[in-house]
Amino acid sequence: MDDSRSLLEFPCRFPVKIMGRDQPDFETHVVDLISQHAGPVATGDITVRTSSKGKFIALTVTVSATSREQLDDIYRTLSASDRVIYLI
């Protein structure tokens, strides 16, 4: 997609919201997938919330996005993971 038609201005900080089962390595799994496209993710750029019954975990990972293509790549990679249940 042509970045000139995007509502976002790049570079920008962009929050990616991911939900999955609350497993010990889910956060590491997600950060590893995002890092493939956005480089290292700082601990301060990750917010973690656990569901009330403790079955699920929601992560918000804020990345320094450089293009729409980069964001599309991040979303495609996360969507391909069978451990990611929901993605915004």
pLDDT 10s digits, 4-28: 566 899 999 999 999 999 999 999 9
pLDDT truncated to tens, each residue of the chain (88 aa)?
Answer: 454 566 899 999 999 999 999 999 999 999 999 999 999 999 999 999 999 999 999 999 999 999 999 999 999 999 999 999 999 9
pLDDT for position 67: 97
Q: Which amino acid is at 26?
A: F
Strand partners, 49: 58
pTM value?
Answer: 0.91
How many structural domains compose the chain?
Answer: 1
- Does residue 20 contact residue 79 with C-beta atoms inside 8 Å? no
Cα 23 vs. chain centroid, distance in angstroms? 17
Q: For tokens 């969507």, what's the residue?
A: 79
Domain encompassing residue 13? 3-87
| CATH number (domain holding residue 47) | 3.30.70.260
